[in-house]
Amino acid sequence: MSESSPPKRAELPAEPTQASRFSKARTAQSGALMEDYVELISDLIGEGGEARPTDIARRLGVSHPTAIKTISRLKREGLAVAKPYRGVFLTEAGENLAERVRARHRVVVDLLLAVGVPAEAAEQDAEGIEHHVSDTTLVAFGRFLQRGR
Amino acid sequence: MSESSPPKRAELPAEPTQASRFSKARTAQSGALMEDYVELISDLIGEGGEARPTDIARRLGVSHPTAIKTISRLKREGLAVAKPYRGVFLTEAGENLAERVRARHRVVVDLLLAVGVPAEAAEQDAEGIEHHVSDTTLVAFGRFLQRGR
DNA sequence: CTTGAAATGTAGCCAAGGCTACATCTTCTA
DNA sequence: TAGAAGATGTAGCCTTGGCTACATTTCAAG
């Protein structure tokens, strides 16, 4: 193919940068649900000693079959274990993930509060925001909070 | 049904609050793609006078059929218009949305920078975060930035 | 020890958002 | 002005994350 032919039309520079930004945002969003489940299961076990699909569904605001289906994926990905009609439990990997998610959630909420977001909105928005906060940003948030106190 | 029967098991308080938080986070994420498309289309038209599906696909990092399918949804929802083999254009509603999204994006990036997030990470993360920033939080961000300068 | 309510699980449906493969249209250029 | 290249569009498939409807299992009262 001849390299000499000039661009036919506008020819934008392709910008792989922007494309990868969008891709990454979408990919991040994919694991978000898993993170929510894992964190919630960990919380439920902490609160009442067990995590039942029905409680998970209720807390997440979804139907119980939806919860059960997602729990299957959790099992498939090695984050949880569950035997039929018994509760759900986290694997080592699941617990680790839960702890990381919990820590990140705290930092995000604290940061929102620190910049003046009302408590209610901070909790609300953090639920969505946290899944898109990279490690780099998380560290920056931490430093900012440190400075502030 | 007899109200007298005591709870059989743990009986958690149902917490509609938390459930609705999660639900809202998921719903927000649903419109995210539409917002990205609308903003990008607006940008492309601004840059080169037209928005072609191929360019949209490239900038978003998806295949062109995916872009085309999403553009159909944009049309279906009254945000864009397009005639076959001609470019894509925004309706009044689409333009308005684009402007709001653009403004919000700026504020989010600025806030991240203001709290010390490195530029690269700020741009990267803002792409995902912005879709979960409520009006309340946006206003708070604005005030914080105001104070800072 | 029976039994019925609540929990759990299964089947099958839907829309969104991806993809590849293939078909068709436009447009630039030789 | 005829081709070929590139843009556009269509078909069909996949996974995720929802749902409802129905079947099965547990378990606490009676």
Distance A132 CA to D27 C1' (A): 43
Q: What is the pLDDT of residue B27?
A: 82
- Is pLDDT above 50 for B1? no
Q: How far apart are CA B45 and CA B88, in angstroms?
A: 9
Chain A: residue whose CA lies nearest to B35: A22
Q: Which residue has better confidence, B75 or B16?
A: B75
- Is pLDDT above 80 for B14? no
Put simply, the chain B residues between 10 and 69 with a CB less than 8 A from any chain A CB are 10, 12, 14-16, 18-25, 28-29, 32, 36, 44, 47-50, 55, 58-61
Q: Which residue has better confidence, A46 or B27?
A: A46
Q: Which residue has better confidence, B5 or B69?
A: B69
- Is pLDDT above 90 for B2? no
Q: What is the pLDDT of residue A16?
A: 56
Q: What is the pLDDT of residue A28?
A: 78
From the number of C-beta atoms within 10 Å of its C-beta (0-12, 13-18, 19+), residue B9 rates as: exposed
> Residue ranges of the domains in chain B?
25-147
Q: How far apart are CA A32 and CA B20, in angstroms?
A: 16
Q: How far apart are CA A117 and CA B140, in angstroms?
A: 5
CB within 7 A of nucleic chain C: A 5-6, 8-9, 26, 52-55, 64-65, 68-69, 71, 82-87; B 1, 8-9, 30, 32-34, 61-63, 65-66, 69-70, 73, 84-85
- Is pLDDT above 90 for B28? no
Contact in structure between A64 and A57 (CB atoms under 8 Å): yes
From the number of C-beta atoms within 10 Å of its C-beta (0-12, 13-18, 19+), residue B21 rates as: buried
User: Which residue is associated with the tokens 């709001």?
Assistant: B100
Provide the pLDDT confidence category of residue A10 given band limits of 50, 70 and 90.
very low
Q: What is the pLDDT of residue A12?
A: 43
Enumerate the nucleotides of strand C whose atoms come under 7 Å of any protein CB.
6-12, 16-21, 25-30
Give the H or E element holding residue A54: helix A53-60
Provide the pLDDT confidence category of residue B52 given band limits of 50, 70 and 90.
very high
Q: How far apart are CA B127 and CA B121, in angstroms?
A: 10
- CATH topology for A25-147 is Arc Repressor Mutant, subunit A (1.10.10)
Provide the pLDDT confidence category of residue B3 given band limits of 50, 70 and 90.
very low
Per-residue model confidence as pLDDT tens digits over A65-111: 999 999 999 999 999 999 999 999 999 999 999 999 999 999 999 99
| Mean pLDDT over the full length of chain B | 89
From the number of C-beta atoms within 10 Å of its C-beta (0-12, 13-18, 19+), residue B8 rates as: exposed
Determine, for residues B124 and A143 on separate chains, whether the beta-carbon distance falls below 8 Å. Answer: no
Closest chain B C-alpha to A7 CA, distance in angstroms? 14
B80 strand-pairing partners: B90
Contact in structure between B40 and B6 (CB atoms under 8 Å): no
Q: What is the pLDDT of residue A26?
A: 86
Nearest nt by C1' to A4 Cα: C29
Q: Which residue has better confidence, A74 or A13?
A: A74
| Mean pLDDT over the full length of chain A | 89
Q: How far apart are CA A144 and CA B146, in angstroms?
A: 17
Per-residue model confidence as pLDDT tens digits over A30-41: 789 999 999 999
Per-residue model confidence as pLDDT tens digits over A112-145: 999 999 999 999 999 999 999 999 999 999 999 9
Average pLDDT rounded to a whole number, residues B121-147: 97
- Is pLDDT above 90 for B58? yes
Average pLDDT rounded to a whole number, residues B16-37: 86
Give the H or E element holding residue B80: strand B80-82
pTM confidence score: 0.87
B90 strand-pairing partners: B80
Q: What is the pLDDT of residue A17?
A: 74
Provide the pLDDT confidence category of residue A1 given band limits of 50, 70 and 90.
very low
> Smallest Cα–Cα separation from A97: which of A148, A52, A32, A44?
A32
Per-residue model confidence as pLDDT tens digits over B60-110: 999 999 999 999 999 999 999 999 999 999 999 999 999 999 999 999 999
